[in-house]
Amino acid sequence: MNTVVDVLAAVLMISGAALALIAAIGLFRMPDAYSRIHVATKPATLAVVLTVGAAVLRIPGPAPTTKLLLAVLLQFWTAPVASHMLGRAAHATGLRPSTPWVVDDLDAADTATDTATDTATDTATDTATDTGDGTATDTGPDAAEGSPS
């Protein structure tokens, strides 16, 4: 029984190390930041799971096993969030992929937000000012300078 657990732990450890190596090589081989984010997150997370799985099999006791499983849980929780935020930050700075996307949902969302913001700004600045003599002067950006409305 102990030999089977040792062999399984060795297979998991070697598989995890191989995936970590593949992720490291992928960081240098991928053409753009978005692909690098992907390759740094997906195989690296699986590599951590496999290596920690091997450690759980090899280390006896509930306390170390709990700590290792907590490490896996935190890896699953933080890696996707971090990669998502890196991708959003790259997109927000104007970084585009090496091959164009078929659909860019973030660009469409940004355009809709910008349009709504511009409309609200234009509405707020297109105001009429009462001059006191019964006429109003438009102080908005569309008004000609000094001409009454």
Residue 80 in domain: yes
Per residue of the chain (149 residues), give pLDDT as tens.
Answer: 689 999 999 999 999 999 999 999 999 999 888 889 988 888 889 999 999 999 999 998 899 999 999 999 999 899 989 999 998 898 889 888 888 777 777 777 767 666 666 665 555 555 555 555 656 555 555 555 555 55
Residue 98 in domain: no
**Cβ pair 23, 43 in contact under 8 A:** yes
Residue 146 in domain: no
Nearest CA to 26 among 13, 35, 17? 35
Residue 99 in domain: no
Three-state secondary structure readout of 80-95: HHHHHHHHHHHHHCCC
Whether residues 124 and 63 share a domain: the answer is no
Three-class SS state of 137: strand
Contacts of 57 (CB under 8 A, 6+ apart): 5, 8, 9, 12
